[in-house]
Amino acid sequence: MATNLTGRSFVNMTDFSPEELWEVLKTAEALKLERYRGQPHPLLAGKTLAMIFQKPSLRTRVSFETGMTQLGGHAIYLAPTDIKLGQRETTEDIALVLSRYADLIMARTFGHDIVEDLARHATCPVINGLSDREHPCQIVADLQTVWEKKARLDGLKLAYVGDGNNVAHSLMYGGALTGMHVSVATPAGFEPDRAILSESQAIASTTGGSVAVGNDVSVLAKDADVLYTDVWASMGQEDEAEARRAKFKGYQVNAGLLSVARPDAVVLHCLPAHYGEEIDHETSRLPNSAIFDQAENRLHAQKAIMVLLAG
């Protein structure tokens, strides 16, 4: 195992260099293979993960908690009512207290600034389980899934269709770091953050990749090796859901969009899915859909992240 990540936090995709990101992916591959062979790997025996949740989750909680158990450690779930970040006590105090108890902190929050504050004040590694700006653990699992299906990442075209949200942001960074060509198609007014676009394009210029954003779905998805989508309205945007349905009509992964992609294009969705909106059920169950491989890889990718950060 490499030790260059020990003690580090993972708040943004750009916290890892291309070489470090590949170290995580290769570690995830090795841990997954050991798990399939029935080989135990108690690499974090005696260690504790504190999990802070402002948002409920299926995959994030179960994958982190199961992963810590498989690594021989222990995970503690802290619900929104257990820790009222910035209300009952300051984020700084929470970070300092949890650092005295736990070896790792994972936080799934609304504001990205909360995860950044936790990482700034904690004396143990902090992992971003999701924020309104980024979803880096998800994208590590996504890259692992594409690598498994295509045997490479560099040079592949990934087309993301839908909202320019936290998933889109981390995909742009992750694709840039691994030399992929990422195209993001959104309705007008829902494009990704411009600063993130510029930064990811700058990274891509050093890895042989590219990042493009536009509104024409068919053009941006043409000849894609991977088609990726996410919900049109994220958690916390429920009051916008109806209005978004009208604006996002046509930004759906379906048979029509698959017809402009490569014949062997892999279909991805980070879940939960709203079938009939961003993807239809039939497409999600096609042989080239890797949605549930992708969900499984959250477990293996996050185990790799925890092992490399906790040492």
Token pair 């989508």 is at which residue? 229
- Which segments of the chain belong to CATH 3.40.50.1370? 13-135+298-310, 136-294
Is residue 137 annotated as a catalytic residue, yes or no? no
From the candidates 230, 252, 294, 302, which is the catalytic residue?
230
d(CA 59, CA 291) in angstroms, rounded, equals: 12
Per-residue pLDDT of 102-141, as tens digits, reads 999 999 999 999 999 999 999 999 999 999 999 999 999 9
Instruction: Annotate 24-93 with DSSP letters as a single string.
Output: HHHHHHHHHHHHHTT----TTTT-EEEEEESS--SHHHHHHHHHHHHTT-EEEEE-TTT--BTTTB-HHH
The stretches of the chain forming alpha helices (DSSP H) are 18-36, 59-70, 91-101, 112-121, 136-150, 166-177, 194-207, 217-221, 241-248, 255-258, 281-284, 291-310
Q: Is the separation of the CB atoms in 253 and 232 below 8 Å?
A: no
From the candidates 103, 117, 133, 138, which is the catalytic residue?
138
Is residue 264 annotated as a catalytic residue, yes or no? no
Contacting residues for 156 by C-beta, under 8 A, at least 6 apart: 146, 150, 180, 181, 225, 226
From the candidates 59, 108, 133, 181, which is the catalytic residue?
108
Is residue 108 annotated as a catalytic residue, yes or no? yes
Is residue 70 annotated as a catalytic residue, yes or no? no
Other C-beta atoms closer than 10 Å to the C-beta of 49 total 27
From the candidates 61, 169, 269, 298, which is the catalytic residue?
298
From the candidates 59, 112, 133, 135, which is the catalytic residue?
135
d(CA 141, CA 127) in angstroms, rounded, equals: 14
In this structure, what token pair is assigned to residue 1? 């195992």
CATH topology of domain 136-294: Rossmann fold (3.40.50)
Per-residue pLDDT of 171-200, as tens digits, reads 999 999 999 999 999 999 999 999 999 999
Residues of the chain with pLDDT below 70 are 1-3, 86, 235-237
CATH topology of domain 13-135+298-310: Rossmann fold (3.40.50)
Q: What 3-state DSSP class applies to 102?
A: coil
Is residue 230 annotated as a catalytic residue, yes or no? yes
From the candidates 61, 270, 300, 302, which is the catalytic residue?
270
User: What pLDDT does 235 receive?
Assistant: 63
User: What pLDDT does 189 receive?
Assistant: 96
Q: Is the separation of the CB atoms in 305 and 140 below 8 Å?
A: yes
